[in-house]
Amino acid sequence: MPAFFLMATFCITGSGGFVGRALAAHLAAPFQALRLSGDDWAEQIARADFRDATVFHLAARVHDESSDSDAFVRDNAEKTRMLATAARESGARRFVFLSTIKVNGEETDGRPFTSSDAPNPQDAYARSKWEAERLLAAVDGLDHVIVRSPLVYGSGAKGNLRSLMHLADSPWPLPFAAIRNRRSFVHVDDLARLLVECAKHAKAAGQTILAAHGSPFSTAELISEMRASFGRPARLFGVAPRVLELASSVAGAGKKMRRMTRSLEVDSEGAERLLGWTAQIGLRPAVEDMARAYAQERA
């Protein structure tokens, strides 16, 4: 085991979640698990031992359309501030915060997002994560790293990805062949490796690092890979993206469709230059991971 793991202590929020489970597996070391979703979240923070610890803050309120903006601010921004302040006061070694590429914006147009781009959050979730980043940076004396991630793939992915898997696992032709967008992603194991690198490297301190695989995909490519993983033909036909967006808006699903038709591309070269990290798991094995888990759930 590397010296870093032998000498370090760790605290993880959200250790039972999708990314948290992958991170715990990559650490392969004991850690304190802080659960911030219950009514006793403040007591959990107060009881934690942060001395010389590396804190991985992964827990967050995510895309929940039933939540108001105050709930996002409380769970994503205010809890981050309190956790970071307690970590600083108790002598934590480093604070690694998992944010979202949505802080940069909802879509790109011909140029990928970089860490130097001005933030442009568009919804309550993204605004609360941007506020959390600002509050974290304002905690004087705390060594911190911010990681902004795009869509995370891998076994156990839920939400929109699982809904898309359900759609792909059908015999019906789908109208996505004309979509030529560019969407970035990262596999959960690659993201976990990056979080560990951010904890280890001195050069990561104070940085905002973008995570992504180097090869983005189009929606047509994604659906084709999903159907191939189920042993199905692609069966895609072409409808103009603007027509799909208009029809979906009429049905109240315009925002979801724009995620299918528009581009959101991320430049992760900064992580490679700074930390020597590159994402290793491409679209096909990532989709195969999800398909296996999906098939097991259905069985």
Question: Is residue 295 pLDDT above 70, yes or no?
Answer: yes
Q: What is the CATH number of the domain that holds 137?
A: 3.40.50.720
pLDDT for 62 equals 86
Residue partners of 297: CB distance under 8 A and separation at least 6: none
In a domain, 228, yes or no: no
In a domain, 164, yes or no: no
pLDDT for 188 equals 96
For residue 117, give its domain range: 3-154+185-214+265-280
Question: Locate tokens 């994503």: which residue?
Answer: 76
Write down the pTM of the prediction. Answer: 0.94
Give the total residue count for the chain. 299
Question: Locate tokens 């991971």: which residue?
Answer: 289
Confidence of residue 1 (pLDDT cuts 50, 70, 90): very low
Query: Helical H runs in 54-123?
Result: 69-72, 79-89
Report whether 52 contacts 87 (CB < 8 A).
Answer: no
pLDDT in tens, 24-46: 999 988 899 999 988 899 999 99
Question: Is residue 117 pLDDT above 90, yes or no?
Answer: yes
Residue 143: Cβ-neighbour burial (10 angstroms; 0-12, 13-18, 19+): middle
Q: How far is CA 214 from the centre of its chain?
A: 16
- What is the β-pairing status of strands 144-149 and 53-57? unpaired
In a domain, 171, yes or no: no
Confidence of residue 66 (pLDDT cuts 50, 70, 90): low
Residue 185 to residue 130: CA distance in whole angstroms: 20
String of b and e for 59-87 (b: at least 16 CB within 10 Å)? bbbeeeeebeeeebbebbbbbbbbbbbbb
pLDDT in tens, 234-249: 999 999 999 999 999 9
Per the structure, how many domains does the chain have?
Answer: 1
In a domain, 291, yes or no: no
276 backbone φψ class: left, alpha, beta (φ>0; ψ -120 to 50): left
Average pLDDT over residues 282-291: 92
